[in-house]
Amino acid sequence: MKDSVSGFDLAREGDQILWLVPVFMIAILFFGLVRSIWEKLPSIFALMGTVGGSITAYLMYRERSITNNPSRIVATQWTVIFWLGFIASLGIVITAFNFYLKRAKER
């Protein structure tokens, strides 16, 4: 038996908090593209990147551990795309934290 579930299906079933993942990523992208925000308020940009990336990575890992339960009837596997997204979320956290440290040293 083979079954597939999209990210949209996962977000609709049971756990409504998964909608925070794209919301945080859009907010991080917005704060990163608006140069006046990260020049005038680097702490807001760093906080948004660190918190948003951390929550996104946590939600992705939590959903992975819930869905990848060996006692389920249908076995699930995670693809390279999941791991790339998870590593990208952690990369956002590290980059935002380094950005804040560099800006704090400059002042």
pTM recorded for the entire structure? 0.67
CB 50 within 8 A of CB 42: no
Residue 70 has what pLDDT? 60
Q: Per residue in 51-77, pLDDT tens?
A: 888 988 888 888 777 665 565 555 556
Q: Cα separation of 76 and 69, whole Å?
A: 8
Q: Per residue in 9-50, pLDDT tens?
A: 655 555 667 677 788 888 888 877 887 777 788 888 888 889
Rg of the chain over CA atoms, in angstroms? 17
Q: Cα separation of 54 and 92, whole Å?
A: 8
Q: Per residue in 69-104, pLDDT tens?
A: 565 555 556 678 888 988 999 999 999 889 888 887
Q: How many beta carbons lie within 10 A of that of residue 60, not counting itself? A: 21
